[in-house]
């Protein structure tokens, strides 16, 4: 069997290869607080790439393509995308969003006071912490985006895709809510990513 014909095996082999590289570079396999933090950060980044990558796919590719397909009266329409692609993409999308947030929250909780300081934008620190302010803005944007995924986008997509029964009027409303929530996430992702890397790499201005 060719492992490249599936999604599962490239993921498994990719993770195994990464672990082998880490072991070879470190001269052995050790597990302590530092390696746990590094592992969590790595998984946080991978989950985030899945989440934001699919967010950009939905907004830059699928949604505009569906509009073109709907306007093309002689074309095949978007039924295939709705039936086969969107449900699978939304599965990865919503669970990657949750994994990203939970792993990020865990990372913040491992540095004394960082979780509270980030959510209070560093304003309770003495003196006020600029890194925690920057990180906090990113944390709040990410939290809003997570709420939009699970509270607005997914419940309304279930109506659009026929997973949950809905009238034509309810589907029309669901399309609007899901679209606007997704567009807000698309917008927020740009400053959110800047703020997430800002404390360690600096802001770009």
Residue 24 lies in a domain: yes
Q: What is the domain count for the chain? A: 2
12 shares a domain with 49: no
Distance of CA 197 to the CA centre of its chain: 15
Distance (Å, whole) CA 93 – CA 52: 8
20 shares a domain with 91: no
Least confident of 31-45, 81-95, 146-160: 31-45
49 shares a domain with 2: no
Mean of pLDDT values over 119-125: 92
- In the structure encoding, which two tokens stand for residue 137, read together? 């803005």
Mean of pLDDT values over 121-131: 90
Residue 35 lies in a domain: no
**Residue 151: pLDDT band with limits 50, 70, 90:** very high
196 shares a domain with 99: yes
Tens of pLDDT, residue by residue over 19-57, are: 899 888 877 777 777 778 888 999 999 999 999 999 999
Residue 150 lies in a domain: yes
Instruction: Give, in order, the Cα–Cα distances in Å from 51 to each of 55, 90, 191.
Output: 6, 10, 16
* pLDDT for the residue 22: 86
191 shares a domain with 143: yes
Mean of pLDDT values over 62-81: 90
Mean of pLDDT values over 131-142: 95
Residue 48 lies in a domain: yes
* pLDDT for the residue 158: 97
* pLDDT for the residue 205: 60
97 shares a domain with 165: yes
68 shares a domain with 16: no
Distance (Å, whole) CA 146 – CA 130: 24
Tens of pLDDT, residue by residue over 91-101, are: 999 999 999 99
- In the structure encoding, which two tokens stand for residue 47, read together? 């989950």
* pLDDT for the residue 36: 84
Tens of pLDDT, residue by residue over 163-203, are: 999 999 999 999 999 999 999 999 999 999 999 988 877 77
Question: Nearest 10 degrees: CA dihedral of 39, 45, 46, 50?
Answer: 160
Q: Which residue range forms the structural domain that includes residue 195?
A: 40-201
């Amino acid at each position: 069997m060719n492992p490249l014909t599936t999604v599962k095996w490239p993921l498994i082999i990719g993770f195994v290869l990464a672990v082998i590289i880490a072991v070879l570079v470190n001269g052995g396999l050790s597990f302590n607080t530092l390696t746990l933090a590094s592992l969590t950060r790595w998984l946080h980044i991978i989950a985030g790439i899945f989440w934001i990558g699919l967010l950009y796919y939905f907004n830059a590719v699928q949604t505009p393509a569906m509009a073109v397909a709907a306007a093309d009266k002689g074309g095949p329409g978007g039924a295939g995308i709705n039936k086969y692609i969107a449900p699978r993409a939304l599965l990865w999308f919503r669970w990657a969003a949750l994994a990203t947030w939970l792993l990020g929250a865990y990372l913040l909780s491992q540095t004394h006071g960082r979780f509270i300081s980030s959510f209070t934008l560093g304003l309770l620190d003495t003196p006020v912490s600029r890194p925690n302010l920057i990180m906090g803005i990113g944390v709040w944007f990410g939290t809003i985006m997570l709420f939009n995924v699970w509270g607005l986008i997914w419940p309304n997509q279930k109506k659009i895709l026929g997973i949950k029964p809905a009238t034509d009027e309810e589907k029309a409303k669901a399309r609007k809510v899901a679209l606007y929530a997704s567009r807000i996430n698309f917008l927020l992702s740009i400053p959110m990513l800047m703020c997430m890397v800002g404390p360690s790499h600096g802001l770009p201005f």
